[in-house]
Structure 1
């Protein structure tokens, strides 16, 4: 019988398996290797002890977890003689009122995952036996796990900070390809981190280890397309399947949550569909929107809430939110993606206890086909090579931006190599467009949008109904025409919630179902917004004090100079902390300011983020 534990932080050291069958047991090389292993394990043990982590396995490998977040759980030494199942969760889930009782008497990964996918959604499962170890992530591996080869074995941890504190040399060497991808797209592909020797687990990955075989990596939990495309399905049947999938997912992921359930209502399709579906099923819900009066999404959300008949509250939108929430971003996301996602942390203003439920529309856009038409205007793809080629062309920044990044890094970006990375991550499917949807989910959404869940999950029991295996299979089995321009999602809204279909989406100019009243309201909103935007930067209380919160071309010459001075000084820190020398000459800075994205200061802000990351790494404690 195994014992259970919940954690949000763990560290594992898996010794290298010394092959006695290939060299004499007492040979100098074997002795030296074993000494290295003992030295590193001792270092890991001392670090974990100094950070109050509880040791769960110490003999053949080392595993320690933070069990302090759940004061009700204790593991006595006698318990540790049995196999231990550890569920690695976000802190908000541990504080929720859910029951994580994995009651199977023997190892049963399918049953464990079914339970964890329903209640946790974002998790890692660890099964620790006396002479073997296994870790499996949720399908997208949203809660990060990092792996690094070190002296005498492999370090695996839930945090870059812990690995770099134990082995500081790993933090010093940055991967220029990863940094280039970050500056060009806001994230790095697949298992890449900013560091050469540090790898993030891939989607659905399993890390296995045993005394006999050593380290083994595989991807048994990766999403795959298991159903044939429903080419002849009637629209009404498709709408019914989508409705059933949404209702089943809400039931599966919300049944154990605290009530009332909070929902982030943005004014888009996903949040209005979820809010209306939950209202129709009599869930007690409260809707929240952050913003200022001139933000169109706020006014759209207000009309949606009134139409549904639910409580709706407005949250403040501090203009310096980006800079204020950067420490949270560094601790929760560890700097590994574009930091503009920090605006979602405005939802942390919701007055609710830790562990309260918050519904988020993560993955609604890609599974409904929001990018398909832009990336693949015609359904003429015949191979995964063509998919990779189209994806690379769609993701490629303007040529001037590419030249700028190459100049900053003094590094020629290899697009053929990048295309090869994209191609290697494409999962086979019945039709190539399905592979493109899965690639978007496993890369762009995982790296750019899922940080929402990591930050909000520090406080909330985050529920993401669209992040559901059955939901994904339902959508991706639909014919291509159903996904073009979100056709099926739009029809579902018009069919199931016709009044909501009359309200324009906040980014669009017309509703799904034309309505004169809403069109006139939209016109009035647009005119008022355009008039105000001209004065926006000069109105007291509407101009951010932090230069890094400026956008839309608001920075004046003095503020632009401050940005340049800041990143020039920061470049020195990047050289000090990492082996990274940036070309931040006056000529390069002038090119940055004249680039097409000058008004949003994107490149400047990303360099600033790298500097803040260097400060964060430099401040980490170093293990003795």
Structure 2
């Protein structure tokens, strides 16, 4: 079993030519030949060399290479779902026959370019770009989805003619068949919910499923994990669960004492008796992280997800497991709650409801000014085309969120964390997901069942209000008044600064994460976009809205939808520059 985080494969069609590329491109890579097919693999740090026999390569985040190199070569694919969670397996299933398959929801990217002679696949866009130059324009729908939904959906990418394998896709190759794509979808069992199940009985099942997931995944980590504690519901549930299991892990949050997230995380840690430590939050977070953004995420998503990179500053040993609440909200009803109830009457209506939950009027207007015709209708058709079949529409909605929004955007946090630490996702678990998928819609709406889990099993953290409101799952007057007083005090301070013609320094974590911390930074970003207008037209076929700064912030007040528009156009401008850099230089720096 050879571990890697960089690979390239060429799978010819039947009677197609052998793959031939410049040796300089794959310097340091190990080459495997399967008749005319080729696989080049850059061995990970500490990885054992291939010992002969059938080839098996595991592509995963670098932080897992050292520990995984000690595992037996016979570890099963299902065990990898607990052991690594984020991976792609490239396996010689029989002499001269290859199979490429990913984790439960295909978090680890696999990019594909189909050519007349055969298919090129890699986890790095720049490798494919060099061996098989673009022969098609960029898919404009991918750009529209980036501008509105934070990333392309389905198999689309921001590169012309390059696809990203979808959730559940599996590629097989043999000399007699050539490359074949099997689209199997997310592999979770679906069925009819039981509307008569007692909420407290199901809440106990959810608790036990979570405990079981944590136990199975802990078994593959040599040392104790740390907890990424944001103060939201998912991370607090995870922290409370581990504490109930008898563990007392160290927790980390980031921000400053006046931030709501910091306040909530501190209250949770105190209730659970956890050692909470703070990671400094850089004041120019987004722009300072762009080199890491392009190196790790390859420009395929909205970069505000880079806020998770602050955890890389944790003073922990490389390879330490980091428990994170990824997927918890989607499985427990948060996504279903985004879609108004009237949209669950038909597949057409559901697709419209999904897009309405993300596409705000100013963003759609910006898309129209960029040259997109009927952007809302295009996005609705995209959502419709990508809605998985399921016995019930709310299950289709949850599957869409997992295989599109979560897989293409939120899960990329694993790629960032994984450059130094081992991602640990208790909620990314087939049994846990299937349990939630079998709950009726009424258990998902308003997160009713999720809140029952807290009230019945973790009441000590249920009284702490969510960072974004004074609401608590189990209201307690003392906690609500404390949060209310904290929020009103911050509001008064911000109004005072505004009356003096100034902005409150670092008023909330989201403003820092969204990248427009000050008016000066926002104007600099807008100027950069306007200077890149010809390049954006050439590469993506889009126009920049005239007077972008005025369009985004017409009243000079900071509006988050305007900041989203500015940041995404600015990211596209940076993408053009990144794509035009010398690819050899990028590969050299990556190696």
- TM exceeding 0.5: yes
Structure 1 residue 406 corresponds to structure 2 residue 371: no
Structure 1 residue 465 corresponds to structure 2 residue 426: yes
Q: Hey, what's the Cα distance between the residues in 2 that align with 1:585 and 1:524?
A: 41
Query: Pairwise mapping of residues 311-460 of structure 1 onto structure 2 (< 5 A)?
Result: 311-378=275-342, 381-398=344-361, 400-408=362-370, 410-413=371-374, 415-460=376-421
User: Using a 3 Å threshold, how does the CA distance of structure 1 residues 414 and 514 change in structure 2: closer, same or farther?
Assistant: closer
Structure 1 residue 550 displacement after superposition: 8.8
Check whether the contact 1:536–1:542 (CA below 8 A) recurs between aligned residues: no
Q: Hey, what's the Cα distance between the residues in 2 that align with 1:420 and 1:349?
A: 42
Check whether the contact 2:229–2:253 (CA below 8 A) recurs between aligned residues: yes
User: Using a 3 Å threshold, how does the CA distance of structure 1 residues 56 and 198 change in structure 2: closer, same or farther?
Assistant: same
Check whether the contact 2:307–2:513 (CA below 8 A) recurs between aligned residues: no
Task: Please list the CA deviations of residues 48-105 of structure 1 after superposition, one character each: whole Å capped at 9, or x if unmatched.
Answer: 533x11112253200011114224x1125xx1xx21121111111213468532427x
Match among 105, 123, 137 for residue 158 of structure 1: 123
Structure 1 residue 402 displacement after superposition: 1.8
Task: Please list the CA deviations of residues 203-226 of structure 1 after superposition, one character each: whole Å capped at 9, or x if unmatched.
Answer: 011011111111211133623443
| Structure 2 equivalent of residue 17 of structure 1 | 14
Q: Hey, what's the Cα distance between the residues in 2 that align with 1:397 and 1:370?
A: 19
Q: Hey, what's the Cα distance between the residues in 1 that align with 2:340 and 2:545?
A: 39
Q: Hey, what's the Cα distance between the residues in 2 that align with 1:226 and 1:586?
A: 49
| Structure 2 equivalent of residue 49 of structure 1 | 26
User: Using a 3 Å threshold, how does the CA distance of structure 1 residues 535 and 216 change in structure 2: closer, same or farther?
Assistant: farther
Q: Hey, what's the Cα distance between the residues in 2 that align with 1:200 and 1:552?
A: 27
| Structure 1 equivalent of residue 3 of structure 2 | 6
- Partner-residue secondary structure (3-state), 1:169: coil
Query: Pairwise mapping of residues 165-564 of structure 1 onto structure 2 (< 5 A)?
Result: 165-169=130-134, 173-220=137-184, 222-378=186-342, 381-398=344-361, 400-408=362-370, 410-413=371-374, 415-534=376-495, 542=505, 555-556=518-519, 560-564=522-526
Q: Hey, what's the Cα distance between the residues in 2 that align with 1:276 and 1:621?
A: 46
Structure 1 residue 84 corresponds to structure 2 residue 84: no
- Partner-residue secondary structure (3-state), 2:357: helix
Unaligned runs of at least 5 residues, structure 1: 19-33, 105-111
Q: Hey, what's the Cα distance between the residues in 1 that align with 2:272 and 2:80?
A: 32
User: Using a 3 Å threshold, how does the CA distance of structure 1 residues 149 and 374 change in structure 2: closer, same or farther?
Assistant: closer
Structure 1 residue 504 displacement after superposition: 0.9
> Which piece of structure 1 moves more, 7-16 or 412-421?
412-421
Structure 1 residue 75 corresponds to structure 2 residue 54: no
| Structure 2 equivalent of residue 131 of structure 1 | 96
Unaligned runs of at least 5 residues, structure 2: none
Task: Please list the CA deviations of residues 226-262 of structure 1 after superposition, one character each: whole Å capped at 9, or x if unmatched.
Answer: 3431221012211111011100000111122132311
> Which piece of structure 1 moves more, 141-150 or 505-514?
505-514
User: Using a 3 Å threshold, how does the CA distance of structure 1 residues 485 and 203 change in structure 2: closer, same or farther?
Assistant: same
Structure 1 residue 382 displacement after superposition: 4.3
- Partner-residue secondary structure (3-state), 2:539: coil
Task: Please list the CA deviations of residues 273-309 of structure 1 after superposition, one character each: whole Å capped at 9, or x if unmatched.
Answer: 1111112222341000100111011011111101101
Q: Hey, what's the Cα distance between the residues in 1 that align with 2:175 and 2:416?
A: 37
Check whether the contact 1:60–1:130 (CA below 8 A) recurs between aligned residues: no
Aligned length: 577
User: Using a 3 Å threshold, how does the CA distance of structure 1 residues 92 and 403 change in structure 2: closer, same or farther?
Assistant: same
Structure 1 residue 311 displacement after superposition: 0.9
Q: Hey, what's the Cα distance between the residues in 1 that align with 2:71 and 2:582?
A: 33
User: Using a 3 Å threshold, how does the CA distance of structure 1 residues 349 and 540 change in structure 2: closer, same or farther?
Assistant: farther
| Structure 2 equivalent of residue 146 of structure 1 | 111
Q: Hey, what's the Cα distance between the residues in 1 that align with 2:522 and 2:87?
A: 42
Q: Hey, what's the Cα distance between the residues in 2 that align with 1:303 and 1:394?
A: 31
Task: Please list the CA deviations of residues 595-621 of structure 1 after superposition, one character each: whole Å capped at 9, or x if unmatched.
Answer: 998555221211111122122212242
Check whether the contact 2:251–2:276 (CA below 8 A) recurs between aligned residues: yes
Q: Hey, what's the Cα distance between the residues in 2 that align with 1:216 and 1:321?
A: 42
User: Using a 3 Å threshold, how does the CA distance of structure 1 residues 555 and 261 change in structure 2: closer, same or farther?
Assistant: closer
User: Using a 3 Å threshold, how does the CA distance of structure 1 residues 134 and 559 change in structure 2: closer, same or farther?
Assistant: closer
User: Using a 3 Å threshold, how does the CA distance of structure 1 residues 150 and 356 change in structure 2: closer, same or farther?
Assistant: same
Check whether the contact 2:526–2:570 (CA below 8 A) recurs between aligned residues: no
Check whether the contact 2:523–2:549 (CA below 8 A) recurs between aligned residues: no
Cα-Cα RMSD: 2.7
Q: Hey, what's the Cα distance between the residues in 1 that align with 2:548 and 2:491?
A: 34
Query: Pairwise mapping of residues 529-608 of structure 1 onto structure 2 (< 5 A)?
Result: 529-534=490-495, 542=505, 555-556=518-519, 560-574=522-536, 579-584=539-544, 586=546, 590-594=550-554, 598=559, 600-608=562-570
Q: Hey, what's the Cα distance between the residues in 2 that align with 1:241 and 1:517?
A: 31
Q: Hey, what's the Cα distance between the residues in 2 that align with 1:236 and 1:588?
A: 52
Check whether the contact 1:404–1:588 (CA below 8 A) recurs between aligned residues: no
